Structure 1
Amino acid sequence: MNLRDYLLTVADSQSIEELWEAHVEKMAEFGFDRLLYGFTRYRTSTSLGDPSDFIILTNHSRAYTDVFLDEGHYFHAPMVRWALANEGAKSWKLLADMEQSKTLSPAERRVLEFNRDMGVTAGYSISFKSISARAKGAIALTARAGMDQAATDAIWAVHGRDITLMNNIVHLKIMTLPYTAPNRTLTVRQREVLEWVGDGKTTQDIALLMGLTSATVEKHLRLARDALAVETTAQAVMKAAFANQMFIVDA
């Protein structure tokens, strides 16, 4: 796919799945055949938030993600820690430098050894700029098997600026598309009542507008809160808005 067709596909994508498929294909042309994108809006000084609220996109194998993500290895990954403290692109040569200088913690070393066992040995990480202290997004680009870091760095020397630009564009596009985390799905009715709340309507107003009883509206709001794992309706509206699940076409 040439660059113009790729950018048109990115611009025209109506779903994250469509966007991600095109991006995976494009990055593979540069030798990066495994990608891992992550984004959170719930970062604090001690946590990245509930993992079930992350936006996670990857084409890594389940054997890799079941450990790296589900068992929490990402929290100790040196390149994840670099991404949290920095912006821009960084070669994974940093890992070899840390190993040589003996600055890896035991937890970081375990992650490094796991990655080596899984063939995740060379690549680049890109950390995206954010205007919110609580939001952070990054992507890890893993070089295909057989490519060492020196070969990866050589590719980056030629194409790195374009690759960084494309990943930033994809990140910004992801921020505009609806994303439903596992076990965070809203029904059409739940989404509709949240939209009316977002418009400033009371329960009685919503009941009249939707032709329902107030009790039924309250039920939909309660189920929406449960689905989004929040305590208040205001929190539900905010979380649904963050995930672009409100006021969308063909919900």
Structure 2
Amino acid sequence: MTLSNYLHRLTQFKTMEELWHAHVNQMGRYGFDRLIYGYTLFKTATSLGDPDDFVILSNHSPEYLNGFLAEGLYADAPMLDWALTNEGFASWRRAHDMARAGQLDPKTQAVYDFNQRMGVKAGYTISFNSATQRFKGAIALTARRDLTQDAVDEIWEAHGQDILLMNNVAHLKILTLPYHAPNRGLTKRQREVLQWVGDGKTTQDIAILMGLTPATIEKHLRLARESLCVETTAQAVLKAALHNQMYAVVT
């Protein structure tokens, strides 16, 4: 598939699942068979925010994701540290060189050793441009186990600009698609009431518009707040909008 054909396909996807499946296959053509993509809209000067609010896509094994994400190793990953303060792309040779020179602190060394044991040895990290200080997005492209970093660097020398372009377009498309975090998806009714709230309607207004009782509207709002793990309806509207979960429901 030509570059232009693939970019055209990327712009046409309607769901996150379709896009991710195609992108994993496309990156596999260049030797990157395991990917982990993520972004947060809640970054601060000292934190990436609540991990439950991260948008994460990956085809790594459950065992790897459990260690890297669930157990929090990502917080000390050397290439993530690079991504937080840089934009563009970087070879994982950087991490290898630091490890050989003894420049990794104990926590970072533990993450490096974990990656080596799990066959996550060679690859590239892309850190996407951030429009605000609250946003950070990146993707780690892990090469096949039979490829060395030298081989991967040669692949990047030949195709790096195309790979970078494809990932940037995929990232921009992902930002437009609804993302339903585990246990945080909204029902059709919850999305609809939040949309009306966002339009400035009162509970009584929404009840009339939807043909329901005010008590039922309050129930949908309460469940929406619980699903999104927020305290106020205003926060629910904001979070649903940021994850593209709040939109006009056509019936």
TM range (shorter): over 0.9
Deviation at 1:249, TM superposition (A): 5.9
- CA distances 1:164-207 after superposition (whole Å, capped 9, x unpaired): 11100000000000000001011111111000001111111111
RMSD: 1.2
d(CA) in 1 for partners of 2:175 and 2:112?
30
Deviation at 1:102, TM superposition (A): 1.8
Question: Counterpart amino acid of 2:57?
Answer: L
TM-score by length of 1: 0.97
How many residues align structurally? 251
**Other-structure match for 1:213:** 213
**What's the secondary structure of 1:185's corresponding residue?**
coil
Unaligned runs of 5+ in 2: none
Deviation at 1:250, TM superposition (A): 6.1
**Other-structure match for 2:142:** 142
In the superposition, relative to structure 1, how do residues 76 and 187 fare at CA in structure 2: closer, same or farther (>3 Å)?
A: same
Contact 2:3–2:162, Cα closer than 8 Å, also in 1: no
Unaligned runs of 5+ in 1: none
Deviation at 1:3, TM superposition (A): 2.2
**Other-structure match for 2:226:** 226
Is the deviation greater in 92-101 or in 126-135? Answer: 92-101
**Other-structure match for 2:42:** 42
d(CA) in 2 for partners of 1:196 and 1:214?
13
Question: Counterpart amino acid of 2:171?
Answer: H
d(CA) in 2 for partners of 1:187 and 1:29?
37
Percent of matched pairs sharing the same residue: 61
d(CA) in 2 for partners of 1:119 and 1:154?
20
Contact 1:78–1:108, Cα closer than 8 Å, also in 2: yes
List structure 1 segments (4+ residues) > 6 angstroms apart after TM superposition.
none
d(CA) in 1 for partners of 2:7 and 2:161?
15
d(CA) in 1 for partners of 2:107 and 2:147?
26
In the superposition, relative to structure 1, how do residues 249 and 220 fare at CA in structure 2: closer, same or farther (>3 Å)?
A: closer
Deviation at 1:46, TM superposition (A): 2.0
**What's the secondary structure of 1:69's corresponding residue?**
helix
Contact 1:122–1:143, Cα closer than 8 Å, also in 2: yes
Contact 2:192–2:248, Cα closer than 8 Å, also in 1: no
1:132 aligns with 2:106: no
